[in-house]
Amino acid sequence: HKTKIAIIGAGPSGLLLGQLLTKAGIDNIILERQTGEYVLSRIRAGVLEQGTVSLIRESGAGERMDKEGLVHTGTDFSFQGEHFHIDLEPYTNGKHVVVYGQTEVTRDLMEAREKTGGVTIYQAQNVELHDIESDAPYVTYQHEGEVHRLDCDYIAGCDGFHGVSRKSIPADQLEEYEKVYPFGWLGLMSDTPPVNDELVYCAHERGFALCSMRSPTRSRYYIQVPDTDKIEDWNEEKFWDELKRRIPPEMAERLVTGPAIEMSIAPLRSYVCETMQYGRVFLLGDAAHIVPPTGAKGLNLAASDVDTAYRLFVKIYEDDRTDLIPRYQEICLARTWKAVRFSWWMTMLLHRFHSAGRFDFRAQQAEFDYFIHSEAGRATIAENYVGLPFEALE
Ligand code: FAD
Ligand code: DHB
């Protein structure tokens, strides 16, 4: 086969880029290692910034999101059981966030792709990138036992942190930065009404907890657990008990518990690969950077990479602007590092670090107290939480 853009990975980055390119009349084929059902079974992000929402709309897959997504004009925090609210709109010229799960975004994009006749090859095994430094790169993969070759102009690496695209760039060309945290998040999804009408980020001496949701009848909760914990060390009852200890007491009292639909542990990591473009390969989303989930930035950062890559490809195909290629990495990295910083800061502010002493805990408490009670502090949190603006290509 031959296409213009070979997209590796059918997560939110790959599907969103594919849909935007298809709409713009730029040929693309997506190669995904897993099945579609498997991709949909991974429960991940839940909070969309307005820039992400607009881009999903622009791709033509925003109808259900606009109907079912929950607009949140504020977010809540608690420290040792004391509950605080931050209004987002007064500090951000009226911006808000939309609570709509990554699973739903993915499902809507898959359906839109099917409707517009876009090609996604699921269960594409052993994907390999070739001749990426030349002007005739190609990708090989195995599908239903046969080896295929896909010739293309550019390769969009949307294949997540463990994907093949980043690994195809020569190791001595990769500029990487990493920080691993000594804990993970244990998440539980249940068909129970959310305990609060806004999300609540809870700092507590027993560890961080987050009360989130997917709909008025579906809740998503997380608790900080040591990175040595395995999912087998936990059960639903133990989870609910621990959650109740970390959230404000009046919330613990009204918390409705129920059977878990899903329970899993995600490790926390900050990672940036500053080499976001090399030869004909572009890296987007988790393939290029990972943030700890605390700031709800992972999926939103992926969307801002897609925004930049999509507008670049349109300029290349419509106006022959290959001179703009170096702008991709410049634009994406500036925004990436700011989101990486915010996610790291929220993580440090709200989690319990067992290596920290009494002094550190007091300093953390004072920092929280300062940010929550200062106008400037609340503005900083609100401005970052709703998402920094997408930068134009020129
Ligand atoms: P992915 O969603 O990882 O998609 C990459 C796709 O590429 C996958 O479908 C994968 O199967 C495919 N692929 C990989 N390798 C290959 C290959 N060799 N060949 C072909 N295909 C391949 N963010 C939040 O904001 N809040 C959260 O609560 C949150 N929880 C998370 C929990 C976990 C366990 C993880 C891993 C991430 C979480 N994130 C969260 C981050 C957020 O989900 C990601 O930022 C988002 O999924 C990035 O989208 P992506 O399309 O770039 O990558
Ligand atoms: C969710 C996940 C996050 O990381 C976050 O900051 C907010 C919400 C969620 O899964 O609902």
Q: Is the dihedral of CA 203, 185, 161, 284 positive or negative?
A: negative
Looking at residue 105, its amino acid is V
How many whole angstroms separate alpha carbon 384 and alpha carbon 88? Answer: 10
Instruction: Give the whole-number percent of the chain exceeding pLDDT 70.
Output: 100
Average pLDDT over residues 332-360: 96
* Burial track 218-231 (b if 16+ CB lie within 10 A, e otherwise): ebbbbbbbeeeeee
Q: Residue 335: its pLDDT value, please?
A: 97
Phi, psi of 221 (to 5 degrees): -120, 150
Asked whether the beta carbons of 57 and 33 are under 8 A apart, the reply is: no
Among all bound ligands, the one having the nearest atom to the CA of 109 is 1
Q: Residue 20: its pLDDT value, please?
A: 98
pLDDT per position as a tens digit, 207-227: 999 999 999 999 999 999 999
pLDDT reading at 6 higher than 90: yes
How would residue 354 be classed by pLDDT, with cut points 50, 70 and 90? confident
- State ipTM: 0.96
CA 13 to centroid of ligand 1, rounded, Å? 9
Average pLDDT over residues 143-166: 98
pLDDT per position as a tens digit, 62-93: 999 999 999 999 999 999 999 999 999 999 99
pLDDT reading at 141 higher than 90: yes
Q: Which pTM was predicted? A: 0.97
Q: Residue 47: its pLDDT value, please?
A: 98
pLDDT per position as a tens digit, 218-252: 999 999 999 999 999 999 999 999 999 999 999 99
What DSSP element (H or E) covers 277?
strand 277-278
How many whole angstroms separate alpha carbon 350 and alpha carbon 183? Answer: 12
CB of 293 within 6 A of ligand 2: the answer is yes
pLDDT reading at 169 higher than 90: yes
Q: Which residues are catalytic?
A: 72, 201, 293, 297, 385
Asked whether the beta carbons of 311 and 305 are under 8 A apart, the reply is: no
Average pLDDT over residues 368-373: 96
CA 125 to centroid of ligand 2, rounded, Å? 31
Which residues, judged by CB distance below 6 Å to any ligand atom, belong to the binding site of ligand 1? Answer: 8-14, 31-34, 39, 44-45, 102, 124, 127, 158-160, 162-164, 266, 285-286, 293, 296-299, 302
Q: Domains, the chain, ranges and CATH?
A: 5-70+102-177+269-351 (3.50.50.60)
| Mean pLDDT of the residues in the chain | 97
DSSP 114: H
pLDDT per position as a tens digit, 9-30: 999 999 999 999 999 999 999 9
Measured from the Cα of 44, ligand 2's closest atom is: 10
CA 190 to centroid of ligand 2, rounded, Å? 14
How many whole angstroms separate alpha carbon 147 and alpha carbon 127? Answer: 10
Asked whether the beta carbons of 388 and 381 are under 8 A apart, the reply is: no
Among all bound ligands, the one having the nearest atom to the CA of 294 is 2
CB of 296 within 6 A of ligand 2: the answer is yes
* Probe residue for ligand 2, chosen from 104, 210, 349 as the CB with the greatest number of ligand atoms within 8 Å: 210
What DSSP element (H or E) covers 186?
strand 176-190
CB of 47 within 6 A of ligand 2: the answer is yes
Nearest to 243 by CA among 78, 71, 8: 78
Lay out the sheet containing 260-273: strands in order across: 82-87, 74-79, 200-203, 209-215, 218-226, 176-190, 260-273, 289-290
Measured from the Cα of 220, ligand 1's closest atom is: 28
Asked whether the beta carbons of 12 and 102 are under 8 A apart, the reply is: yes
CB of 220 within 6 A of ligand 2: the answer is yes
| Distance spanning both ends of the chain, measured CA to CA | 33
Q: Residue 270: its pLDDT value, please?
A: 98
